[in-house]
Amino acid sequence: EWEIIQRVSSSGKKASLIRKKSDRKLIAVKKVYKNESTGDCYRELTALKMLKGVPGVVQLIEPEHESNNFEREAGGEADLWIIMQRAQTNSLKTFMDQNREKYGHNIEVSRAIKFVQNLIGIVKQVHSRGILH
């Protein structure tokens, strides 16, 4: 059994942060509504499957789960969900704001360089899998 912790809506997509009651583990789910075009969601799901194991990229949970296979029978009533890990970090803006609160100034150059190097490494791995972002 699951409980909804938070509902998020951005860029026209609806997602929820949910927690399994038995182990309290948090995961994220995106619902694919019956009346919406499934093309964007299918591309996202395909990309996430291609990025399996890439550090810094949110991973699918149970990638072979029937919902993550993204096959809705014609006229079918089953809801489709993209089930994935919860992103462990905040947005860049939140990161910058927290740094400002903690240190009283913007991020230090050395810390910014390390952040960008990490980001470039992730993008390089994404590109090596044939995905451009």
Distance CA 3, CA 24 (A): 9
Provide the residue ranges of all domains of the chain, joining segments of one domain with +. Answer: 1-87, 89-133
Give one DSSP letter per residue of 53-83, joined into a string: T-TTSPPBSSTTSTTTTT-PPTT----EEEE
Tens digit of pLDDT at every position of the chain (133 positions): 778 888 876 655 678 888 878 888 888 888 776 666 667 777 888 898 899 999 989 888 865 565 555 555 445 566 677 888 887 766 778 878 888 888 888 888 888 899 899 999 999 999 999 998 6
Mean pLDDT (the chain) is 79
Would you state the pLDDT for residue 74?
A: 47
Would you state the pLDDT for residue 12?
A: 59
Q: How far apart are the first and last CA of the chain?
A: 35
**Fold of domain 1-87:** Phosphorylase Kinase; domain 1 (3.30.200)
Tokens 């014609």: give the residue.
Answer: 74
